[in-house]
Structure 1
Amino acid sequence: MASVSTSYDYVIVGAGTAGCVIAAQLSEHDGARVLLLEAGSRDPQPLGSVPPAWPKLLGTPASWGESTVAQAATGTPMPFPRGRGLGGSSAINGMIFVRGHRSSYDAWVAAGAKGWGFDDLLPYLCRSENAVGRDPVVRGVDGPLLVGPSNPRHPVAEAVLAAAVETGFATATDISSGLEQGFGWNDLSIADGRRFSAADAYLAPAMGRPDLDVVTNALVHRVTTEAGRATGVEYSVGAEQFRARCEREVVLTAGTVGSAQLLLRSGIGPQSHLRDVGVETVLHLPGVGANLQDHPQTTVVYSPARPVPPSANNHAEVTGLIRSDLALDGPDLQFLAVDMSMHSHAPAGSGQGYAIACALMTPRSRGTVRLTSGEPGAAPAIDPNYYGDPHDLEVMLTGLRIAREIGRASALTPWRGFEAMPGRAAQDDADLRAHLRSNLLTYFHPVGTCRIGTDTDAVVDTELRVHGIGGLRIADASVMPTIVSGNTNATVYGIAERAADLIAGASS
């Protein structure tokens, strides 16, 4: 079927967190025609707005349903959920709204992302949020996204927080701020008892604007280029083919997997890989799809001494952020109080219990996103390479021991039946390393495949423009040079808010 052509000032690919922010901001400008393309459905999942039901969303059409390649650490593929639909991962995630510690943003500057330190990004992080009850000096108070600590508080979370303090860790007043270490009540993107996604906060208020077109169920095939400049995209909706021409900029907000995948399908990436999958090279850009990072996670699971009450929130209301070694510049381990049984051998929330989760915030392991085919509908090959660097396993071993120490504190005595995983018999390092491999979980935080920088392996410059291709930017978690020491969604809001300013400023 012949393609249908349309023309816009801006074409945005991906209606996840960043896409919703940027589409809303750019469509505020008079006369700027904006097209937002999304591969998923316009219709939300029935349980999508119910906070404690989020684990049930991971196997629905609201997630891409992909898995990693077999991981050397486990010998098997691992589930790798990411959002698909308006709001993207903000519509299926665990709703924890936590900035990384400031030290992890300052690491971006050290990696070549000049102007992207914590203080540089802070105004944009604040601009996205309305942080109820937090310090207005460092938190946003009038942004579109309403966030705040859990209400009501879950008794297991209260007990884990008390256990952490009993164990000797500091209490944090606002662990979501990026300025503190210790244990405290994290903010949640929940408003009036319902999930509050990027689509709710940003896109819904903009949907009636005459210059904003939102097309769902749209599979973007490639970015089109002429004479070294992006000119638009080709996409399909069902059997119908479309071309959207772009007068100003194409903006990729398809996420760490999707943005890298689309660049590669468009012939922008490492030439040898493109040749292997039969894609004609438009630009040899070797860093595309490299530098993939995620937070590896594990849990200590407890069988409860009494029934655990159902959660009214997201199952993880308390966060701890600490250093495994006091000589480090910043925290490298995060802990969660989880009011359900959570481990790699069963769906989250199956069976009675509670858990203390531990995740490595500063992994050294690096993986890749690669094409399996040049065909638009082909699933990518995702390899996070968990524990590829032995350092990561050793720091996680420290974290696992800390989680068990917290779990043994007297504050948890009323809830603690027995340790179900890794179990009392697992005591020496070999046993615990085996548990770290067998109970390895993704934390759903992939970043880095289109990183900011100025070296030959960087994909975008410090204004998020793709090196070597005019009129093309990327503004999502893929641009992070290194992963932040916290859940990534809050940071993506900040990146997107800044990107909207950069894009609007370029056309003024």
Structure 2
Amino acid sequence: MNTYDFVVVGGGSAGSVLASRLSEHPDATVLLIEAGPAHGPERTTVPAAWRSLVGTDADWGHSTVPQTGLNGRTIAYPRGRLLGGSSGINAMMHLRGHRAAIDLWEKEGAEGWGFDDLLPYYRRTEHTEGRDTAVRGTDGPMRPRPAAPPHPAAQACFEAFRTRGFPVADDLNAPEAEGVTWTELTVVDGARQSAADAYLRPFLDRGNLTVVTEAVAQSLVFSGNRCTGVRYLRDGVPLIARADVEVILSAGAVGSPHLMMLSGLGPAAHLRGHGIDVVADLPGVGANLSDHPLGLAFFSAGRDMPTGQNNHIEVVGVTRTDPSLAYPDVQLFFMDVALALPGGQGYALGFSATAPHSRGSVTLLSADPSVAPAIDPGLLSDERDLETMLTALLMARDINSAAPMDPWRGQEAIPGRSLDDPGRLRTFLRERGATTYFHPVGTCRMGSAETAVTDTRLRVHGVEGLRVVDASVMPSIPAANPNPTVLAVAERAAEMIRAQHG
């Protein structure tokens, strides 16, 4: 058994931030445990290759339970399994979302976690250029930049958005921005920049920082109601890491609740049903899973499509289906490949309901840590989300019909123009047109609500010495790709931890 001040479980976006920031204090010893390897396949670094990483050794390879809202379909649920976590396999889109979506957290019981509270930490993560320095960072580790050079078909689609009334947003990461913009990507010198690349790898030579990869956490260790360490397997050898100060779970919206339930933290009846002794009865562990549904409309091209040089998603727009809404509830984007068509020839318009009402769960299937949990994001289980997705699909079609797309437009292949009745389009979305946007959050929500798992300093209720810091603590989902918000939450958590422990 080795002893450290802090043991961080999970080397993804949040874990990379925490291990880096906590080890800045030379007297604090930090262990980071990551289940995956230090590096993924070589193509992990190639922006255009991100879709090919699903199903590789860099992916946990999860799948959902049958989705009632998707007519019983089971869908793949990829999560990153390498240093950098999902930031090592995602599409590298850097979008914060609207101020009002984060302000909602306070209304949901997370006092002190409004947008203005989080803004300094958003800024701390970033190194941007040519942006408003009041809201964007200039000396942080992550280096988001607009996609460049733009694909010629993306340029046409940008104009199509404008033709359809989308205002041009100079910076869609400004607090209340809305409209169409060039996607900011975490790509540096033509290569992916994961959270591990930005926060962790430059500091691996710190004597007080230990990073152990291919080490799979099995359970938390408790002495009474205090969490004192982590049991993990490495090369088949069972090991224990002791934490003198804190254990911090950063295993993500699937991994963190799974490890907590395996360790006796969760809904008491559910744990006992799997023969697990209850350390703390926390009904909210694994509940409140929220994810963005995603749809893609595929089109053949009316001319040869050049090969995309970036992440294939260079243009993104956000809007509201109802002007009375507090913030945009739809995201649309142009993709310069048609994944569902032979050879990928063609293009797609993606659409997502970014303020979903549907909720799901992560629950145990077994007390065996090697058995993945049951993942139920509940996609389109709330009829309101289906209606939003239908509206978004019609918006995507309308953008594609705008004059700037004339030189590129071929035929609509999926869903196909023969599907023009709203009822048939709803059936299409449920049967094959909707899937996940890979954005799970909320399964260890913070705050004062009855189902809250942590307090607003991210300390787990009912026990000592344990915090959760990752997407699982978000009370509700940001109205955008969550990774920038995960980084900001982790930056703030690191400051809280250092303030508490010196």
TM class, shorter-length: over 0.9
Q: Are 2:114 and 1:111 aligned?
A: no
Q: Are 2:136 and 1:149 aligned?
A: no
Aligned AA (2:162): V
* Aligned match for 2:86, one of 64, 83, 89: 89
Q: Are 2:49 and 1:53 aligned?
A: yes
Q: Secondary structure at the match of 1:175?
A: coil
Q: Secondary structure at the match of 1:96?
A: coil
CA contact under 8 A between 1:64 and 1:84: conserved in structure 2? Answer: yes
Which whole-Å CA distance do the structure 1 matches of 2:401 and 2:248 have between them? 49
Aligned AA (1:337): F
* Aligned match for 2:400, one of 390, 393, 407: 407
Q: Are 2:370 and 1:377 aligned?
A: yes
Aligned AA (1:174): D
Map 1:46-445 to 2 at 5 A: 46-72=42-68, 73-342=70-339, 350-437=343-430, 438-445=432-439
Which whole-Å CA distance do the structure 2 matches of 1:166 and 1:70 have between them? 40
CA contact under 8 A between 1:133 and 1:148: conserved in structure 2? Answer: no
Which whole-Å CA distance do the structure 2 matches of 1:36 and 1:178 have between them? 33
Q: Secondary structure at the match of 1:336?
A: strand
Aligned AA (1:12): V
Cα deviation, 1:148-190, whole Å, max 9, x if unaligned, reads 1011111122111110110112111111334200111121000
CA contact under 8 A between 2:6 and 2:29: conserved in structure 1? Answer: yes
Which whole-Å CA distance do the structure 2 matches of 1:240 and 1:425 have between them? 58
Change (3 A) 1:74 1:353: farther
Q: Secondary structure at the match of 1:291?
A: coil
Cα deviation, 1:53-111, whole Å, max 9, x if unaligned, reads 00111121000011001111232210100000100001000000010111100110110
Cα deviation, 1:442-461, whole Å, max 9, x if unaligned, reads 11100000001112210011
Which whole-Å CA distance do the structure 1 matches of 2:470 and 2:133 have between them? 26
Q: Secondary structure at the match of 1:131?
A: coil
Which whole-Å CA distance do the structure 1 matches of 2:101 and 2:488 have between them? 14
Map 1:481-496 to 2 at 5 A: 481-496=475-490
Measured after TM superposition, the shift of residue 371 of structure 1 is: 1.2
CA contact under 8 A between 1:23 and 1:203: conserved in structure 2? Answer: yes
Aligned AA (1:470): E
CA contact under 8 A between 1:300 and 1:421: conserved in structure 2? Answer: yes
Change (3 A) 1:317 1:178: farther
Aligned AA (1:332): D
Change (3 A) 1:350 1:365: farther
Q: Secondary structure at the match of 2:413?
A: strand
CA contact under 8 A between 2:7 and 2:30: conserved in structure 1? Answer: yes
Aligned AA (2:27): G
Which whole-Å CA distance do the structure 2 matches of 1:157 and 1:177 have between them? 22
Q: Are 2:17 and 1:21 aligned?
A: yes
Q: Are 2:497 and 1:500 aligned?
A: no
Which whole-Å CA distance do the structure 2 matches of 1:33 and 1:505 have between them? 16
Q: Secondary structure at the match of 2:140?
A: coil
Aligned AA (2:34): E
Q: Secondary structure at the match of 2:105?
A: helix
Aligned AA (1:434): T
Cα deviation, 1:30-50, whole Å, max 9, x if unaligned, reads 211100000001233110100
- TM, length-normalised to structure 1: 0.97
Q: Secondary structure at the match of 2:294?
A: strand
CA contact under 8 A between 2:253 and 2:472: conserved in structure 1? Answer: yes
Which whole-Å CA distance do the structure 1 matches of 2:95 and 2:174 have between them? 7
Q: Are 2:442 and 1:448 aligned?
A: yes
Measured after TM superposition, the shift of residue 411 of structure 1 is: 0.6
Provide structure 1 residue ranges, at least 5 long, that are not aligned to the other structure: none
Which whole-Å CA distance do the structure 2 matches of 1:270 and 1:33 have between them? 33
Name the structure 2 match of 1:42: 38
Which whole-Å CA distance do the structure 2 matches of 1:359 and 1:42 have between them? 32
CA contact under 8 A between 2:135 and 2:175: conserved in structure 1? Answer: no
Kindly tell me the number of residue pairs found equivalent between the two proteins: 500
Name the structure 1 match of 2:458: 464
Measured after TM superposition, the shift of residue 350 of structure 1 is: 4.7
Provide structure 2 residue ranges, at least 5 long, that are not aligned to the other structure: none
CA contact under 8 A between 2:108 and 2:449: conserved in structure 1? Answer: no
